[in-house]
Chains A and B, each alone.
Chain A
Amino acid sequence: MDSVAQRLSAVGAGAALELRGVTRMFGALAALTDVTMTVRPGERRAVLGSNGAGKTTLFNCITGDFSPSSGTIRFFGEDVTHFPPYERIRRGLRRTYQISALFTGLTVQDNVYLACRGVSRGRFSLLRPGQNDALMHAADNLVQAVHLSAVKDQRVAELAHGQQRQLEIALALAGAPRFVLFDEPAAGLSPTERAELIEILTSLPAHIGYIIIEHDMDVALRVVESVTMMHNGRVFKEGVPEEIQSDPEVQELYLGGGHE
């Protein structure tokens, strides 16, 4: 049973993310039931499903915001089921939030700088960053990448919604991400901002895989190679975008309801 593939998988060369039988109960309510899912490194996948299908709970279990009631989660081969969120993040996992979770009292630059600092050493450093601080430059580049250079010294509370969504993504791309969870990144964006978002997602380096929760099929199916359809906390269907789109059951469940 000890094949080379298995041994390689154990040291992290296998799946980026491997969920086995993940169940999450809220009291008597099962938000997730027996979710099993494997995502390859560099794979880009959409998770679709109606409200209450368990998509965001799935993300919360993967990042450790909640721990699953049962089941295991492996990240690049390592069992992270009982790790606190920050340990998972330090291993290369990232996420964005459906409702922007930003530091509204700080500037854009400081937000991104914190994101860079969080996944490097010196989180407790008592020394101010100097002029040639590498993380400051990294933060500058990231701010530029999400088109926020013009407002980088503004407090986040003063930003427009679209800009806050861009910043939300920037925070998830700091450091060296290996796998990112995007929770409805296009929510509330204008068509122009959507185009920018698609550009950012499609230009991510090939080794960075992600899962995206997105109601907008135009965005979702353009930036992924595989789709997981969820319903009532269970995995309902998996496949490539074309299969899912043409699947009659999926259409009835999800696309039929006036989503065109």
Chain B
Amino acid sequence: MTRVFTLALVVLALTITGCTRVQYGDATATETVTVDFGSTDLQMIATSMVDDLMSFPPVVQLTLDRRPVVFVDRVQNRTVEHIDTESVTDSIRTRLIQSGKFRFVDMTVVDRVRQQMDFQTQSGMVDPATAVSMGRQIGAEFMLYGALTSIVKRDNRTKDVYYKFTLNMMNLETGIIEWSSEREIRKTQSRSLFGR
């Protein structure tokens, strides 16, 4: 009887203590939990796009003695997953700014900027000498835009996903696409025969 009781206690203790464990990991480590779009894909795309852009001869020429102003339009999500494509373009933009070759304007905060400017010029609470003046922002010269598409094949045992990320840089004045690049990713997952 005592033995049964002890055994039950041990089992109980094991279940309670075996619950959760938190640990820090490497943010750039390869993540292969599922074939769905993940952090590794995002980083691969961002790095390869930026490397490609920075080493493209006309772009090297262009950024030799000036830092062109660019704005990021959007990357269309044409996959079968809900992917935050803005996060991909954010990474690309951050890397490009870090390189010191480009400058960016951000279209997503225009409303809030306008609000602040209105406050500075119209509320009467801000010293006019320190208020920013209207109409002095710099217009973007280039636009970055693209699309993320996928092809998914699935049967009972395997799931195969192919992603293609395309990014273009257009000269807004001439309408010429100055640079374009694509990155392909292919992942396959098989179900195991035995498991939990």
Binding partners A and B: no
